[in-house]
Amino acid sequence: MADYDAIIIGAGLGGLSSGALLAHQGLKVLVLEQSDRIGGCCSTFERNGYKHDVGASIVEIIQPIEKVFELLGTKFQDEVDLIPCDPLFSVMYRNGERITIEKSLEATGEVISSLSAEDGRHWKDFCDYFQEMMDVLIDALFFVPADTFGDMANMIKKNPKLLKFLPTFLVTYQDLFQKYFKSNKVLDTMAYQSLYMGMPPALTPGPFAMIPFTEHSGIWYPRGGMIKIPEALLRCGQKDGLEIRMKAGVKKVVVKGGRSQGVVLEDGGEITSRIVVSNVNPQRLYLELIGEEHLPWLTKRGVKSLVLGKSLCMIYVGLDSKPDLDAHHSYTAVSMQEVNDFWTNHVETGIMLPAEKNYGLICWTSHSDDSLAPKGHHVINVIPESFYHLKGTNWDAYKDQFVDDYLDYVSRDLVPDLKGQITQVIASSPMDYERNLRLPEGSLYAFNQDATHQAVFRPSAKSKCIDGLYLSGSGTHPGGGVPTTIASGMIAYNKILQNEKV
């Protein structure tokens, strides 16, 4: 008899949501996490009294998360104290001008009208279109599997309204915005958010143009830091007997007769299980943890052809006083063309932009939750655009200079006197993410999220070549993000209920 019904490799959101759901179903579940902290990219660490989020800094589109907690017999809002963020964000133009976008659609319409009367007139049409799209797409895409074309057909059968929005998969984020808005000043407030999908506006599939709209239905910050979400999933799982071992990296998935049988740990120990759920990047899972010898040629080819996604250098900053910022999130106003050019002229050549031409996001988390820093102090995360492969150098050699140059620029041009307020700076480069969280090339969302890496083209929740093996996390449908990876855990769980004796 196997030691466990299910072993979960990785305590990221996808791993913990599938693990907690399986434990709630009565299975004997063990989660194995290689690091000393749960949550992966959605986590929080403390240094000298300042709490910094490792990656994710807000949660939005919470319907799939609510569903998972409902299946666990509780309520998301009872498990995690969610602080609403309003204003939603502030846009910082390079000439020092700023605009603030509030949750209210009417207030935002007024801001758009003040930038361009013509675009202001189109704001309502834009909202009506994206409201309908959001209602359809969240239900249709985030709760159901997309492993096969049969799954895709079922999606449409269950939700025929999806047909109306299928053509948006053939156009881009940029196309949809340019349909509604003509003023560059307005478009410059909306280009950056395509990067929430890890892609520039010209490559991001059209449906994700709903992000700047969906934020108006609410964005939240969990009191105590983003780690409160994985902690809540773990707590629910543990009530149902889920076990977790930290610093327990998995070296191999044991496959015999085409079926996963358990895992071998990096310390040499072996643990058997009927089911294995992997929360690690699927390319690494198939090529390293399983090994090419167990893969049919088509899987080998398919897995090798997946393109790793965007990576970032994140700068965690402690401040001794309140920064000159206006909202939880502030980002640089940037044109669609600049973001597209960054992709083609810099990501692909490895030549970094000079700091004063770079742009990015500043997350002022202690604006929402003052418990994150000592009294009167603050924490911000500064996130300039960056990428993994640098021409002629690497991140271990380049990180300090990159961080210094960008903080100098921000302090000079965007957030006056920031440098004088700084008490500590820590940075996580793409290479650090790779080492610490085992994200290949620091890839935030596992793979690109363009149309060729979506739904049925992403590795499936139920392995097509190894029985008893399931996948959760950003490398499988519906992709990267806090709600989507939690949804992926629910999709893996449903696949297990359908296919295994539980």
Ligand X SMILES: Cc1cc2nc3c(=O)[nH]c(=O)nc-3n(C[C@H](O)[C@H](O)[C@H](O)COP(=O)(O)OP(=O)(O)OC[C@H]3O[C@@H](n4cnc5c(N)ncnc54)[C@H](O)[C@@H]3O)c2cc1C
Residues that bind ligand X (CB under 6 A): 9-15, 32-35, 40-42, 55-59, 249-250, 279-280, 312, 314, 437-439, 444-445, 473-474, 480-482, 485
Least Cβ distance, residue 297 to ligand X (angstroms): 25
Q: How many CA atoms lie within 13 A of 450 on its CB side?
A: 14
To the nearest whole angstrom, how small is the minimum distance from the Cβ of residue 197 to ligand X? Answer: 10
- Residue 277 or 415 with smaller CB distance to ligand X: 277
Q: From the CB of 39, what's the least distance to ligand X, in Å?
A: 7
Judged by beta carbon, residue 120 or residue 230, the one nearer ligand X is: 230
Distances (CA, A) of 464 to 6, 298, 451: 18, 11, 21
Nearer to ligand X (CB atom), residue 179 or residue 284: 284
Give least dist CB 402 to ligand X, A: 15
Report the nearest approach of ligand X to the CB of residue 153 (Å). Answer: 27
Q: Shortest approach of ligand X to residue 230 CB, angstroms?
A: 8
For ligand X, the closer of residues 279 and 340 by Cβ is 279
Checking phi first, is residue 135 left (phi over 0); if not, alpha (psi -120 to 50) or beta?
A: alpha
Give the contacts of 105 (CB within 8 A, at least 6 positions apart).
123, 127, 216
Q: Please state, as a whole number, how many other Cβ atoms lie within 10 Å of the Cβ of residue 298.
A: 10
In angstroms, what CA-CA distances link 247 with 60, 237, 261? 30, 19, 21
Of residues 12 and 109, the one with the C-beta less far from ligand X: 12
Smallest gap from residue 375 Cβ to ligand X (A): 26
Q: CA–CA separation, 174 vs 205, rounded Å?
A: 9
CB of 289 to ligand X, least distance (A): 6
Rounded CA-CA distance 301/278 in Å is: 20
Residue pointed to by tokens 């932009």: 353
CA atoms within 13 A on the CB side of 397: 6
Residue 490's Cβ-count burial label (10 Å; 0-12, 13-18, 19+) is buried
Of the two residues 112 and 490, which places its CB atom closer to ligand X in the complex? Answer: 490
Using DSSP, state whether 3 is helix, strand or coil: coil
267 vs 293, which CB is nearer to ligand X?
A: 267
Quick one: 18 or 116, whose CB is closer to ligand X?
18
Instruction: State phi, psi for 296 to the nearest 5 degrees.
Output: -65, 155
Judged by beta carbon, residue 44 or residue 485, the one nearer ligand X is: 485
Strand, coil or helix: what is 450?
Answer: coil
E strand or H helix that includes residue 79:
helix 76-79
Radius of gyration for the alpha carbons in the chain, expressed in angstroms and rounded:
22
Token match 């675009």: residue? Answer: 119
Asked if residues 414 and 332 have their Cβ atoms less than 8 Å apart, the reply is yes
Of 137, 195, 169, 198, whose CA–CA distance to 452 is shortest?
169
CB of 183 to ligand X, least distance (A): 27
State the minimum distance, in angstroms, from the CB of residue 156 to ligand X: 26
What is the C-alpha separation between 208 and 196, in angstroms, rounded?
A: 9
- Which sign does the torsion angle of CA 88, 74, 13, 445 carry? negative
Q: Of 16 and 295, which CB lies nearer to ligand X in the complex structure?
A: 16
Are the beta carbons of 20 and 233 closer than 8 angstroms?
yes
Which is closer to ligand X, CB of 186 or CB of 382? 382
Tell me the C-alpha distance between 188 and 1, whole Å: 60
β-strand 44-47 against 250-256: which pairing, if any?
unpaired
Nearer to ligand X among residue 181 and residue 221 (C-beta): 221
CB 289, CB 7: distance < 8 Å: no
Strands 29-32 and 44-47: unpaired
Q: Minimum CB separation from ligand X for residue 73, in Å?
A: 22
Residue 96 beta carbon to ligand X: minimum distance, rounded to whole angstroms: 26
d(CA 298, CA 465): 10
Under 8 Å between Cβ of 286 and 299: yes
| Identity of the residue, 123 or 143, whose beta carbon is nearer to ligand X in the bound complex | 143
Min dist CB 438 to ligand X, Å, is: 4
Going by the DSSP 8-state scheme, the letter that residue 453 receives in this structure is: G
